Amino acid sequence: KAGVTQTPRYLIKTRGQQVTLSCSPISGHRSVSWYQQTPGQGLQFLFEYFSETQRNKGNFPGRFSGRQFSNSRSEMNVSTLELGDSALYLCASSPVAGVYNEQFFGPGTRLTVL
Amino acid sequence: GENVEQHPSTLSVQEGDSAVIKCTYSDSASNYFPWYKQELGKRPQLIIDIRSNVGEKKDQRIAVTLNKTAKHFSLHITETQPEDSAVYFCAASTIGRSQGNLIFGKGTKLSVKP
């Protein structure tokens, strides 16, 4: 099976702009979760979607939002970008709901905010 | 909220030695504890996980132990090899919690010197 894919792989934006990242899960996986990875904070959970519904949400401001489509593909949107949003954004998929199952990670999208 | 502390942040061992990484968690309801390995420039991958109904789990050279009373769990790698060099993340979650999420430790950079 093809692995989790994310597009774009690299992105440069300026403060105040918004950005949309895309994630395609492994075929048959219906859960998609998003994570932010930074050198200072490590890996932080953003949210999980399953069957087009948000099941879990981490401690991030409302500028971070997401959605999932009927084919399980997911998008994450960040509005009003701040310098601190520069990070590697990873998505992960799982065949069943719940982040307490093995997460299969994608390669990530490297976002740089200038 | 849940917090996971991970120690040490860096660990250097000689090939063939053992390596131990320790994590403590704050939420006594946590009952799922995975360990992820992230090699340089690659995506995190699950290497082992444990649920709170067992105290120890082994998979070849890797083992995880859990002490629920003390709220800590540890990763043990025996007979280390250069390919074990990576950043290791512990995490904690609560199975069945509808709004649960996955809280990661800050990571341990393991270097295995040949």
Q: Which of residues 2-41 of B touch A (CB under 8 A)?
A: 32, 34, 36
Q: Which of residues 69-98 of B touch A (CB under 8 A)?
A: 89, 91, 93-96, 98
How far apart are the C-alpha atoms of B79 and B82, rounded to whole Å? 10
Give tens-digit pLDDT for A81-104. Answer: 999 999 999 999 999 888 888 999
Per-residue pLDDT of chain B (114 residues; tens, 9 = 90+): 689 999 999 999 999 999 999 999 999 989 999 999 999 999 999 999 999 888 999 999 999 999 999 999 999 999 999 999 999 999 998 887 766 688 999 999 999 999
| B46:A102 CB<8 A | yes
* pLDDT for the residue B49: 95
Name B37's Cβ contacts closer than 8 Å, sequence gap at least 6: B44, B45, B47, B86, B87, B88, B89
CB atoms within 10 A of CB A83: 10
For chain A, how many residues are written?
114
Task: Provide the β-strand partners of residue A49.
Answer: A32, A54
Which three-class secondary structure state does DSSP give residue A107?
coil
* pLDDT for the residue B98: 61
| A42:B89 CB<8 A | yes
Give tens-digit pLDDT for A19-68. Answer: 999 999 999 999 999 999 999 889 999 999 999 999 888 889 999 999 99
| A43:B98 CB<8 A | no
With pLDDT > 70 as the criterion, what percentage of chain A qualifies? 100
Which two tokens mark B34? 């995975």
